[in-house]
Amino acid sequence: MRLRRKKTKPAKTGPSARLPKVKTQELMPPEGVPLRFEISSLGTRFGAQIIDIIITVIALIALVIFLFASGIIPSLAILSVGVLLFFFIRVPYYALSEMIWNGQTIGKRICRIRVVSCTGRSLTPHQIVARNLMREMEVFAPGTAMLVATQGFWEGLTAFLWIAGVLLVPIFSKRNQRLGDIIANTSVNTGRMSYRCLPNCCKTKRQIKHQRRIREGSKR
């Protein structure tokens, strides 16, 4: 697919080809000048979520190995303790890191996205906690349902409907909000703005590329 597209449409160099369509959102800060934020794509958010899961699982494995080696827990109980610990690690992980790093977990930091309050004020602890409690239902419940083999038709159907419902909400949401975001009145935006620089002051390759894109866009 990729190759063919390149062959057939080499001439398309306009702004529509270069600049990807981004959803934007306007927030009204108390200062009264609306700010335009770019809403993160669902793929990026998915990536950040995967990274976060990997991080928490690594922490979990390290802890379990430590506990196992030190002989505090018997080998029989290792699975149950693991389940408990995973729960204990992941629930505070998201809430605390988003609180400390201004709406970013480590995964979000790597993917350069962040949670922003739609109120135009700072994120409140309540917003952070609410959106992360809903994660339990939207991410981890379907996740475990997929990992654990289900028995029976109805169980499978319920799991399927659940997963489908949870996935459809952010796809059809205007600001790519998942249920937790809607409750907390937050949205996840790109923080990928730091490479924009003053015209004629660009230093990095990325900045220069962005400048060129804008110039070509405004000529049309």
Give the binding site for other proteins (CB under 8 A): 27, 29, 31, 33, 35-37, 73-74, 76-77, 80-81, 83-84, 87-88, 96, 99-100, 102-103, 114, 116-117, 121-126, 128-130, 133-134, 136-138, 141, 165, 179, 182-185, 191, 193-194, 196-199, 211, 214-215, 217-218
**Which whole-number Å values give the CA distances from 72 to 88, 119, 122, 195, in the listed order?**
18, 48, 43, 50
C-beta closer to other proteins: residue 47 or 120 = 120
C-beta closer to other proteins: residue 27 or 167 = 27
C-beta closer to other proteins: residue 55 or 104 = 104
C-beta closer to other proteins: residue 5 or 102 = 102
Query: Could you tell me the smallest distance in angstroms from the CB atom of residue 99 to other proteins?
Result: 6
In the DSSP assignment, the letter for residue 76 is: G
CA dihedral angle for residue 144, residue 141, residue 99, residue 172, rounded to 10 degrees: 120
**Number of Cβ within a 10 Å radius of residue 139:** 19
Neighbour-count burial of 178, counting CB atoms closer than 10 A to its CB (0-12 exposed, 13-18 middle, 19+ buried): buried
Query: Could you tell me the smallest distance in angstroms from the CB atom of residue 24 to other proteins?
Result: 10
**Which whole-number Å values give the CA distances from 213 to 7, 156, 168, in the listed order?**
22, 48, 33
Q: Is 190 helix (H, G, I), strand (E, B) or coil?
A: strand
C-beta closer to other proteins: residue 16 or 80 = 80
Query: Could you tell me the smallest distance in angstroms from the CB atom of residue 6 to other proteins?
Result: 28
